[in-house]
Structure 1
Amino acid sequence: MKIRQLSIAVALAAAFVGNATAKEGGDQYPNGAENWLAGAVPPPGNYFLNYFGYYDAKLRDGDGDKVPGTSARAWFDALRFIKMTNTKILGGDWGMHLIVPLVSQDVKLGGPGASASGIGDITINPIIIAWHTPNLHWTVALDFNLPTGKYESGDPRKSIGTNYWSIEPIFAVTWLSDSGWELSGKFMYNIKRKNEDFRLAPGAPKMDYDSGDDFHMDYVAGKHFGPWAVGLSGYYLKQTTNDELEGETLAAVPGLWSRGRKGEVFAIGPSVSYTAKSGTMFIAQWQRETSAENRFRGDKAWFKLVLPF
């Protein structure tokens, strides 16, 4: 396979892994970030969350096979600030949050690799509403993802951001039994605007590229033992609309991508959490992407801190 052909394929696949934790294949959310108590938003107060980890992957084509000569490795650290207020909306607690991701990545796309570091795409959310009962907790929210990350048009190896805006409705729910069993899920739908500064290669004419919308979810199933919890966590993503270039659905290319280049990935792995008496929570987890099409597939290791002020 010619290097230029491979570079075009990967560029059309989404502009790479992007933002700190999260843009394997053009995502604007750190898939797998939320698991334990995902729907149980904390009570009124101020909170800091830190997501630190490492991602190592190879590009997969439309059949789920490896694309030779490709790799993506990234260290990430996402800083999240949450404020929950005493204000009630429809009986639920109202809050807001801000996420600032940092990333250092190395990418290889069939030829020489390239590195990039910096701030990724920032997320803001002015509306989080959370409800609570003794065993069931649920939350609705609306994220806005901003194109603040570095974007190198025509060279996805050097891009940290996606160069498009998006909006993301969210529903999260947690069931926690009296005996300590927990099931939690966070369900999201990412609605993307076009990237109007897309190039097939450096110096090529600008084109409009639409990465396609997607449904994705994080989950955990596990058991609490006093301050400890152990279980399985992961994520699933399914692209629901086709990628389009200049308004036309991408055609299939044998050995590279299927028509429309719809991405899909599933990940699962062990997760352990510990909650101190102060309310500080520590979470460590490893998530293996067991299947993927039209996007990167690999392993992700996380360490998460939840700190109430």
Structure 2
Amino acid sequence: MDDRMVKAGLLAGAILTMVTMADPARATEGGGSAYPHGAEGWMTGMLPPEGTYLLNYSTYNNADRLNDGDGDRVPLDFEAEAFANTFRFVHVTDKKILGGTYAFQVLVPMVDLRVDMGGRRDHRAGLGDIVVDPFILGWHIDKLHIAAGLDIILPTGRYDRNALANIGRNYLTFEPAVALTYHDPEGPELSAKLMYDMSTRNKATDYQSGDEFHVDFAAGWNFPKWSLGAAGYYNQQTTDDRQGGVVVGDGNRGTAFAIGPTVKVQAGKVPIMLTWQHEVVARNRSQGDKLWIKAIFSLGGHP
């Protein structure tokens, strides 16, 4: 078996798990990043007023190639297609801590994943990995909005070490995050969510996925009833993958950069965001496109 086919085998780990909100991503053994890159964009740093909210994320993901550490296609027939709908419940309290408003949230993903690779096919559907964040703080300083928290991604999705398509990762991930938004209601908007992921070991395979830094971003212009701009994400694995304490291959450090158009419209009291993202750069991971539809509903507060 030549080096390129060995690399193909390592990269197959990029599809072995469907995580959080349908992201068949890079070459961590658990199969993709714990976070669904590109999920956030418009208003990501703006904690809403006191109340309870449902943020509904619907996404379609398609990847048709696996790339090596140089970003070149690995010689392996491959396609991964994922649909997901994630229900994100956020409760904003009237409590203040360090001058910021206290909130908490839970995200419940339902995913449907199909993988074709090397003549083999697999399909899984059901509950993915649930995310909880018991401690969020938000600040509003004129047109600048800041939110910070700690997401904990739980291994609630189905996992089988011998499956090609999994909808769970079988390990915990801790993700501190800071989101910032500069928002002019009839002018420019700049938003970014910065995150750092640290995962525990997958006990079924004795595999430790490396840490990651990543950011979702959006930039655009707000008009009275709609907004237009560009949105995307950047992801960089910062530490090596290890199995049994030994570095796997070249470390399998994944990199990705994606960008595409985004639009936000106000449907009555419900903001709706539509975003398409194309992965321009992908190393040690799969490469493809994403389509997001996000809507925000008030369940007992002020939209």
TM-score (norm. length: structure 2): 0.91
Amino acid at match of 1:141: G
SS in 1 for 2:204: strand
Counterpart contact for 1:7–1:110, Cα < 8 Å: no
Task: Say whether residues 1:267 and 2:220 are aligned partners.
Answer: no
Aligned partner of 1:201 in structure 2 is: none
How far did 1:11 drift?
4.5
Q: What is the distance in 2 between the residues matched to 1:275 and 1:286?
A: 18
Which residue matches 1:282?
272
Given that 1:244 and 1:260 are in contact with CA atoms closer than 8 Å, whether structure 2 keeps it comes out as yes
1:108 aligns with 2:106: no
| Mean Cα deviation higher: 92-101 or 175-184 | 175-184
1:33 matched to 2:39: yes
1:147·1:162 contact (CA, 8 Å) conserved in 2?
yes
Q: Deviations over 1:142-181 (max 9, x none)?
A: 00000111111133x2311111101110000001236410
Q: Match for 1:194: what amino acid?
A: R
1:236 to 234, 237, 258: 234
Code of the aligned partner of 1:46: T
Task: Give the deviation of 1:23 after TM superposition.
Answer: 4.8
Matched, 1:168 2:159: no
Distance (whole Å) between structure 2 residues aligned to residue 178 and residue 51 of structure 1: 23
2:303 is the alignment partner of 1:296: no
1:262 match: secondary structure: coil
Partner of 1:22: 23
**Aligned residue identity for 2:293:** F
Deviation (angstroms), 1:277? 4.4
Residue-by-residue CA offset, 1:255-285 (whole Å, 9 max, x unaligned): xxxx10000000100000012442x110111
From the superposition, tell whether residues 4 and 161 of structure 1 become closer, same or farther in structure 2 (CA, over 3 Å).
farther
Partners of 2:144 and 2:154 in 1: how far apart? 32
Whole-angstrom distance in 1 between the partners of 2:98 and 2:266: 30
| Structure 1 letter corresponding to 2:59 | G
Match of 2:96 in 1: 88
CA–CA separation in structure 2 for the residues paired with 1:136 and 1:38 = 11
**Which residues of structure 1 form unaligned runs of 5+?**
199-207, 252-258
CA contact (8 A) 1:7 1:109 kept: no
**Cα RMSD, aligned residues only:** 1.9
TM-score by length of 1: 0.89
Whole-Å separation in 2 of the counterparts to 1:33 and 1:125: 16
CA contact (8 A) 2:15 2:165 kept: no
CA distance in 1, matches of 2:151, 2:211: 14
Aligned length: 291
SS of 1:194's equivalent?
coil
Aligned residue number for residue 50 of structure 1 = 56
What is the percentage of aligned positions where both structures have the same residue?
40
Change (3 A) 1:13 1:56: closer
Following TM superposition, the consecutive aligned residue runs of length 4 or more in structure 1 with deviations greater than 6 angstroms are 1-4
